[in-house]
Structure 1
């Protein structure tokens, strides 16, 4: 029997959604370009973004607002943040810097995963029942 889920009592924070003619309150990615952002840190952030879980799939494909590259048609999440599939492209190829708070979030999530206590007993017991 599956374990009960924790109720979602907080909204998921969205990032990487860009200004459109119908929503001019969103940021413009060109305003967030940081040419001095270290490549190794950009790769670290982009790797995290690429490995999010699929939250939604859309019929149309998004294109990069800076170079017109096809950027996918899905939204990804880690359960705390939600971003478009192409956000890693903006980070890697255009040095679009995300809020520092998101970098802290990534670091904390990865540290939490590294510190998990590991238990193989469930797998050993339940694999025999298959």
Structure 2
């Protein structure tokens, strides 16, 4: 992982930005719910997500697409992936399983 402030010479991959009325090509989190996903792994993944570096902030908070709770206003990164601040909430509270490629990356 690059050090904080170190330039990255590869594209950063977007992770689970959700479908909107303006962009129907993005995934719908309801389609990714996996109630059989091991709870201890979900906690581990959510902890990783919640400790990303702040990559940007937006004016106004996003709402969870599944329960409508406020879900943050920042984008986080680990230098390889970029994800919305509330992604850990989807993993913990709604059993939304992330792509195997990402899970392999953080392992």
- TM-score, normalised by the number of residues in structure 2: 0.92
RMSD value, Cα: 1.1
SS of 2:69 mapped into structure 1: coil
Structure number, greater radius of gyration: 1
Ranges in structure 1 where 5+ consecutive residues have no aligned partner: 108-130
Q: For residues 38-91 of structure 1, what are the alpha-carbon distances to aligned partners after superposition, in whole Å with 9 as ceiling and x for unaligned?
A: 100000000000000000000010000000010000000000000000000000
The alpha-carbon deviation at position 6 of structure 1 amounts to 5.9
Q: Give the distance between the partners of 2:25 and 2:9, measured in 1 at CA.
A: 26
Alignment-derived partner of residue 44 in structure 2: 44
The higher-RCO structure (CA 8 Å, 6+ apart) is: 2
The alpha-carbon deviation at position 9 of structure 1 amounts to 2.5
- TM-score, normalised by the number of residues in structure 1: 0.76
Ranges in structure 2 where 5+ consecutive residues have no aligned partner: none
Report the number of matched residues: 103
